[in-house]
Chain A
Amino acid sequence: MSPRIGVTGVGWSGFTPTTAGRSYKELMFEAASAAYLDAGVDPRTDVDSFVCASEDVEEGTSIFDEYVPDQLGAVQRPVQTVASDGLFALATAMMLIRSGVANVVAVEAHSKASDILTPGRVDAFALDPVLNRPLGVPALALAGLEMRWYLHASGRTSEQCTEVAARNREHARSNRRASFADVDGDDAPLFDPLTTHQAARSADGCVVIVLASEDRTDGSRTVWVEGIGWSQDAPSVESRDWSRAVAAERAAATAYAQADVRPGDIDTAEVDDTFAYKQLQHLDALGLTELDTASVNRSGGALGEGYLHEANGLARILAAVEQLRAGDGRASVVQSWRGVPSTSAAVAVLKRDR
């Protein structure tokens, strides 16, 4: 539809259960510095626009976009924050480049979840304040409700979900970023049928991605973002479709159309696996049920790398870029979901040439 846009740099920091003693600013500085070095750009002169992803309550700061520019090299530059997963920030960067207002854009998302002493209360605050919150049901319980509905509607089994978790953690063994190849404790019911080993565990970390229009890329090493889509199902718990990831289906349709690909063209996938059943549901939505399981979440996914909150989507992009750069497949799908209780999803199609 328009000139190509590629990933020219990636950088990360953390990916550990805690990052004690280091501030979120320092995590961001480390990831951004690595991404700019990888892309060969100076943020003070070469990056036209900056897009971050964060939510106030997860940071403990209102209007958190106040606190991002310095550590990204973005002082007195165009900077904006999306209240969403990092893949939505990547989508925003794509639009900025396609609209002609930028040629090079830095995209950032992070998690400093270890700063939150009462994470359950944060999640609960995302529930409808009038109808749901007063019930005192943890937001995480929605995953149990949805999983039961999904298994019932799809005919999949709890055992298959257990296999997904085990396989992703096995993949994580060969990923230097992954902290959760092994998890403590026996597998136990969490919100039945969801079990503790089927849920990704919170981690700190930051990912920065540099995107550039084709004339600012360096050719062979570039991983192209050929298509991107995002969508939103009903936010209310009472009226959403529990059996399917509708938003992911719609996002995929847009991304595939832009990239002019079909599911059969895809070699690898990095999809949301916040809960093991979500990986299966998301593969359904993406039309990738036939994809070899060895080619899905080779990074170990969030089950292996940790749940990085708004940085989950960029963590999947990072993994896909590394795989494509290493010659591991030519076309990859990346998909993200924000976790309970949200129903938004984004999908990107990445390719390398040859």
Chain B
Amino acid sequence: MNGRRVAVVGAGMTRFVRRAQETGKELAFQASRAALDAAEMTLDQVGAVCLTSAPDAFDGVHRKGDYLADGAGGWNKPFIRTYVGGGSGVFTAIQGWYTVASGQADVVLCVAEEKMSSCQPHPQGAFLTIFDNILERPLGPNLLWIFALEMNRYMQRYGLEKRDIAAVAVKNKRNAADHPAALLGQADISVDDVLASEVLAWPVQRLDVSPISDGAVAIIMASEDAARRLTDAPVWVDGVGWNLDSTYWTNRDLSYPEYVENAARMAYGMAGITEPRKQIHIAEPYDPFDYKELHHLEGLLLFDKGTAPEAAAAGVTARDGDLPCCPSGGLLGVGNPIAAAGLMKIAELFWQLRGEAGARQVPGTPERGVAQAWGDLMQVGTVVVMGSDRAGGLRGSGLAAMPHPSPLRPDPSGQATQPAAMLGPTSLSDARFRSAAGAVDSPLDVRYAWDPGDAVGAFLDGLRDGRILATTCASCGRTLVPPRSFCERCFRSTDAWMELAAIGTVETFSICHVTWDMRPLEEPELPAVIRIDGSSDGGFLHKLGEVAPDDVRIGLAVEAVWRPLEDRTGSILDIAYFRPRERTLRRELVAAATAEYMP
């Protein structure tokens, strides 16, 4: 069975703003209308609608796909909302691809919407519930923790310099200064500005992070026959890939995103790409944090592991570099309304490959690009390879190497304007929002009582008794902490229980200075991933105590400090924290002087 060839024939987007006056429905409408106008089409020509959006909690609407349907043009049409967390935006184009390639529809409208500002008092609140309901949420983790833990691991593994990583934030915010939809474009930002910005959760600083935003993006995809009728310059979807890793993020090495590589290999295989560094001319990797762009460029096989930061600092990924990355300005510069930001990357490739990116146009008229997004618990990769009509088919062509495009190839569209189609929204200040009439305050106020299940239930019972229990899989030989009733790799029931000593090592850690809603902490928190000695792949998320922040190192040997027996409830909190096993490192917690932990 072979699907039909599929092209993108139009794209449109709203401006990305901190707080839109428009509802989510209206944002979806503005982007959809803009894409249809850009392609000179009507909704009647659309056979199905594909929608993505990340957590329901942002919009404050359960079943928000249904809620957004009419705004996205889905009334009386086949309509499905799909989600893969932060990977959703790029996945929109994958959903559009298979809807058309399968023959289910000839023309589809693909819409990605996110209105984060509805979530009060701070949109980060929507992320409090992404963590494991039994083992992680009681610790009060916030979203910055996991990025900081991953970034620290990445930096430590390869001996990376924060200065090199900060170059990504600078590049993207400068690029975004040329994007009319951008929220945080800044032409004069420097690496020193990034390094001087507030430390949120070391090693993450404020300017390492993309902004919370509202916005929507839409593209139109069509079968080859339909695309030829609709446009002279279709941009082909040559390959798609997606891949989801285990839920147990504390059980994997965070220094390299294997799942991104898996997704890239799937997409490259479909596109006939054998030498991505030669055959990909432009990349829009996912950049919610500056290090993530680098992490992802390595996962996309465009750089060797640990080498992307140096290349970024050397200008290789600049708009006029050898491999332009995030010429749009990315999430760091244009903004990060989650799903919309991912689809923005597809739209950018569409404009770039048509030579319509205006001031953002990379030199040489690239012929083939890759867009990638990422999400969930550092867990999912979504990848789309797109090629201009000039690129010619690698697909089924015997996988011949593709030469890099001539840097002097004339741009057929001349000085085309870009984002041709862009509507709204109206940006609303916080003050105006809070004083506006009619704002609806609606608490979710839902209560749950989750069954921990056999394995985690026994683990919690063990914690109450001051014991750390593991299960073992006789097939792969692993000892699993947290324990599970089945082995996710071998897909069989686990075989036996065993007890491990309550000691371990710090796999990675962060020094967090802010609460989830971005209020400063008097004393920093020290979240860490603890690998329990004797377990096979790691352990779990917890906190460090009785240690000065500057004495914590990856690899530090630690032991559990249990709550008094009478205070234990069968919870992850029955371990109060982990402290150094080396007595000389133990001390009362001291206030962390922020400056000391600056790079």
Once A65-B84, A84-B81, A134-B440 are accepted as A-B contacts, the answer to whether A57 and B62 lie under 8 Å apart by CB is yes
Contact status A126-B3, CB under 8 Å: no
Kindly state whether residue A245 has any CB partner on chain B within 8 Å. no
Contact of A55 among B63, B76, B98, B450 (CB under 8 A): B63
A81→B247 contact, CB < 8 A = no
How many whole Å from B224's CB to the nearest CB in chain A? 13
Mark contacts of B368-383 with chain A using CB atoms, 8 A cut-off: 1 yes-contact digit, 0 otherwise.
Answer: 0000000111011000
Within 8 A of B (CB), among A229-252: 229-236, 246, 250-251
In the complex, which residues 30-78 of chain A have their Cβ closer than 8 Å to any Cβ of chain B?
A: 33, 36, 42-44, 55-58, 60-63, 65-71, 73-78
Using Cβ atoms and an 8 Å threshold, which residues of chain A touch B84? Answer: 65, 79-81
Which of A70, A84, A231, A250 has the largest count of B CB atoms less than 10 A from its CB?
A70
Q: Which of B254-280 contact A (CB under 8 A)?
A: 258-259, 262-263, 266, 270
CB of A99 within 8 Å of the partner chain: yes
Closest to A65 in B: B84
Q: Total interface residues on A, using CB and 8 Å?
A: 89
Chain A residues with CB under 8 A of B243: 76-79
Chain B neighbourhood of A234, CB < 8 A: 70, 75
Inter-chain contacts of A2 with B (CB < 8 A)? 1, 102-103
Task: Decide yes or no whether A121 CB sits under 8 A from chain B.
Answer: yes
> How far is it, in angstroms, between the C-alpha of A24 and the C-alpha of B248 when the chains are bound?
16
Knowing A92-B82, A98-B1, the reply to whether A63 touches B375 (Cβ < 8 A) is yes
Return chain B residues, CB-CB under 8 Å to A163. none
Q: Which of B65, B128, B456 contacts A84 (CB 8 A)?
A: B65
Give the docked Cα–Cα distance between A61 and B447 (Å): 12
Whether the pair B3, A71 counts as a contact (CB closer than 8 A) is no
A76-B243, A99-B102 known; A115+B85 contact, CB < 8 A: no
B70-99 contact mask (Cβ, 8 Å, vs A): 1 or 0: 100011111111111100000100000111
A interface footprint on B203-246 (CB within 8 Å = 1, 0 otherwise): 00000000000000000000000000000000000001111111
0/1 interface trace, chain B 446-480, chain A, CB 8 Å (1 if under): 11111111111100000000000000000000000
Q: Assess whether B98 is in contact with A101, with CB atoms less than 8 Å apart.
A: yes
B145 to chain A, nearest CB (A): 15
User: CB of B186 within 8 A of chain A?
Assistant: no
Q: Which residue of A lies closest to B377 (CB)?
A: A66
Which residues of A (1-30) have their CB < 8 Å from a CB of B? 1-3, 19-26, 29
Taking CB atoms, residues of chain A closer than 8 Å to B452 are 23
Contact flag A232-B77 (CB < 8 Å), given A121-B444, A126-B66: yes
The residue on A at minimum CB distance from B262 is: A76
Give the CA-CA distance A74 to B4 in the complex, in Å.
27
* A3, B103: Cα distance in complex, Å: 12
B300 smallest CB distance to A (angstroms): 16
Give B553-583 interface residues, CB cut-off 8 Å to A.
Answer: none
Closest to A49 in B: B242
List the one stretch of B484-492, B541-549, B586-594 in contact with chain A.
B484-492
Return the chain A residue nearest B52 by Cβ. A83
Kindly state the separation between the CA atoms of A98 and B69 in the bound complex, as whole angstroms.
Answer: 25
B130 within 8 A of A: yes
Stretch touching chain A among B53-61, B358-366, B417-425: B53-61
Kindly state whether residue B303 has any CB partner on chain A within 8 Å: no
Interface residues as binary, A204-236 with B (CB distance below 8 Å gives 1, 0 otherwise): 000000000100000000000000011111111
Tell me if A254 counts as interface (CB < 8 A to partner B).
yes
Residue A326 lies at the interface, judged by CB distance under 8 Å to chain B: no
Closest to B248 in A: A70
Do A57 and B130 touch (CB < 8 A)?
no
Chain A residues lying within 8 Å of B413, measured Cβ to Cβ, are none
Cross-chain contact of A235 among B69, B375, B377 (Cβ < 8 A): B69
Restricting to A98-118, which residues have a CB under 8 Å from any CB of B? Answer: 98-101, 103, 112, 115-118
Contact yes or no, B55 A77, CB < 8 A: no
**CB-defined interface of A250-280 with B at 8 Å, one 1/0 digit per residue?**
1100100000000000000000000000000
Judging by beta carbons under 8 Å apart, are A75 and B67 in contact? Answer: no
- Of residues 483 through 541 on chain B, the ones whose CB sits less than 8 Å from some CB of chain A are 484-486, 488-491
> What's the minimum C-beta distance from A316 to chain B, rounded to whole angstroms?
18
A129: Cβ under 8 A from any B Cβ? yes
Closest chain A CB from B516 CB (angstroms):
13
Nearest to B99 among chain A residues (CB) is A95
Determine the interface band of chain B, counting residues with CB < 8 A from chain A.
35 or more
Residues of A close to B79: CB separation below 8 A: 230-232, 344
Q: Looking at the complex, which one of A101, A129, A235 makes contact with B70 (CB distance below 8 Å)?
A: A235
A344 cross-chain contacts in B, Cβ below 8 A: 66, 69, 79
Which residues from chain A contact B2 at a C-beta distance below 8 Å? 100
Q: Is the CB of B376 within 8 A of A63?
A: yes
Cβ contact within 8 Å between A233 and B61: no
Q: Is B133 part of the binding interface, using a Cβ–Cβ cutoff of 8 Å? A: yes
In the complex, which residues of chain A have a beta carbon less than 8 angstroms from the beta carbon of B379? 66
Contact B244 A62 (CB under 8 A): no
Contact assessment for A246 and B82 in the assembled complex, using a CB-CB cutoff below 8 Å: no
- What sequence of 0s and 1s flags, for each residue 99-136 of chain B, a beta carbon within 8 Å of any chain A beta carbon? 10111100000000000000000000011111011000
The answer to whether A342 touches B448, judged by C-beta atoms less than 8 angstroms apart, is: no
With A65-B85, A83-B81 already in contact, the answer to whether A98 and B55 are too (CB < 8 A) is: no
Whether the pair B376, A56 counts as a contact (CB closer than 8 A) is: no
In the bound assembly, the distance between CA atoms of A29 and B484 in angstroms comes to 11
- Flag whether A312 is at the interface (Cβ < 8 A): no
In the complex, which residues of chain B have a beta carbon less than 8 angstroms from the beta carbon of A24? 451
Bound-state CA distance A24–B454 (Å) is 11
CB of A302 within 8 Å of the partner chain = no
Q: Write out the residue numbers on chain A whose beta carbons fall within 8 Å of the beta carbon of B397.
A: none
In the assembled complex, the Cα of A3 lies from the Cα of B246 at a distance in Å of 33
Does A143 sit within 8 A of B, measured CB to CB?
A: no
Chain A: minimal CB distance from B50 (Å): 10
Asked whether B56 lies within 8 Å of A56 as measured between CB atoms, the reply is yes
Given contacts A22-B451, A69-B488, A129-B440, A92 and B80 within 8 Å (CB-CB): yes
Bound CA span A250–B377, Å: 38
B23 at the interface (CB under 8 A from A): yes
Q: Which residues of A contact B241 (CB under 8 A)?
A: 78
Our pick among B76, B127, B446, B451 for the contact of A62 (Cβ within 8 Å) is B127
* B442 interfacial by beta-carbon distance below 8 Å: yes
In the complex, are the beta carbons of B55 and A62 less than 8 A apart? yes
Set B55, B102, B377, B453: member contacting A95, Cβ < 8 A:
B102
Option from A19, A78, A117, A134 in Cβ contact (under 8 Å) with B448:
A117
Kindly state whether residue B445 has any CB partner on chain A within 8 Å: yes
A144-168 with Cβ < 8 A to chain B? none
**Which of chain B's residues have a CB closer than 8 A to the CB of A68?**
244, 247
B contact residues around A36 at 8 Å (CB): 491
CB <8 Å contact, A56 and B57? yes
Q: Within the assembled complex, what's the spacing in Å between the Cα atoms of A240 and B62?
A: 19
C-alpha spacing A250/B268, complex, angstroms: 37
Q: Identify 14 new A-B residue pairs, CB closer than 8 A, beyond the known A29-B485, A79-B84.
A: A3-B1, A21-B457, A25-B484, A33-B491, A56-B56, A56-B129, A60-B446, A70-B486, A77-B243, A79-B243, A80-B91, A95-B104, A99-B97, A101-B270
20 A-B pairs (CB sep. < 8 Å): A23-B453, A42-B491, A60-B448, A63-B54, A65-B83, A65-B376, A77-B243, A78-B263, A99-B101, A100-B2, A101-B3, A112-B451, A125-B444, A126-B61, A128-B67, A129-B61, A130-B23, A230-B80, A231-B77, A235-B66
B interface residues with partner A (beta carbon < 8 Å): 1-4, 23, 49, 54-57, 60-70, 74-85, 91, 97-99, 101-104, 126-130, 132-133, 240-248, 258-259, 262-263, 266, 270, 375-377, 379-380, 438, 440, 442, 444-457, 484-486, 488-491
Instruction: Report the 3 A-B pairs with minimum CB-CB distance, sorted nearest first.
Output: A23-B453, A70-B488, A99-B3
Chain A interface residues (CB < 8 Å from chain B): 1-3, 19-26, 29, 33, 36, 42-44, 55-58, 60-63, 65-71, 73-84, 88, 91-92, 94-101, 103, 112, 115-118, 121-123, 125-126, 128-130, 133-134, 213, 229-236, 246, 250-251, 254, 338, 341-344
